[in-house]
Amino acid sequence: DSGVTQTPKHLITATGQRVTLRCSPRSGDLSVYWYQQSLDQGLQFLIQYYNGEERAKGNILERFSAQQFPDLHSELNLSSLELGDSALYFCASSPSGRAGNIQYFGAGTRLSVL
Amino acid sequence: ILNVEQSPQSLHVQEGDSTNFTCSFPSSNFYALHWYRWETAKSPEALFVMTLNGDEKKKGRISATLNTKEGYSYLYIKGSQPEDSATYLCAFLPTSGTYKYIFGTGTRLKVLA
């Protein structure tokens, strides 16, 4: 168990809908990362937060947004969902915002858009 | 566009065999390389963080080397066991100042008993 908690584990929804994925980092970790893994693709970096502030942005669509709250948990909001958004979404945390820190991954949320 | 490639894509070995696989990354603007082990139905677990050219890291029967000048890292598993079956991912981090990790697609290892 990495100590990173993601909810829900599975989510099934329809095109056009909006969902929120939640991540609680390991106790004491200040940095949270979000990744997307689609079929036959590697993990794609979406966004990183450090202590409540956005630190880095990857290939995140405009329909997606995220935030990190004062208690350090993070939410990834996906809106106007399309079939192609079906994927495994991982959250990871690390102790500080330092580049190169080990990341601890949650178990992921599997999103199915029908 | 920065690209990270892993080879081979998949590998079957017999229990007791030693094996190795490769992660290739851009040799310029290197900051760090991570190796992760990802078992089916679980989450990726960090194995090594490598930052210096010539680094060698070891964890039990698994070890890794790093060559930043030529842009590759090798992961070695000595005396493979069925429990080593997993996907092994590498993640490249370009020069400090960016936090955008670029992951390879992984090498899927299956160790046959």
Q: CA–CA separation, A1 vs B89, rounded Å? A: 19
User: Is A102 in Cβ contact with B34 (below 8 Å)?
Assistant: yes
Distance of CA A77 to CAs A64, A68, B43, B112, Å?
A: 6, 12, 21, 42
Model confidence at A54, pLDDT cuts 50, 70, 90, reads very high
Peptide bond into B44 cis (omega under 30): no
Residues in chain B within 8 Å Cβ distance of A101 = 49
pLDDT in tens, A75-110: 999 999 999 999 999 999 998 867 778 899 999 999
> Three-state SS for A101?
coil
Mean pLDDT of A22-45: 91
> Closest partner residue to B43 among A48, A99, A105, by Cβ?
A105
Compute, in degrees rounded to 10, the torsion defined by CA atoms B49, B41, A11, A48.
Answer: 0
Looking at residue A21, what is its pLDDT? 98
Tokens of A110: 């599997």
pLDDT tens-place string over residues B59-103: 999 999 999 999 999 999 999 999 999 999 999 988 755 678 889
Residue A17 clears pLDDT 80, i.e. is over it:
yes
Q: How crowded is residue A60: how many other Cβ atoms within 10 Å of its Cβ?
A: 16
pLDDT, average across residues B24-38? 91
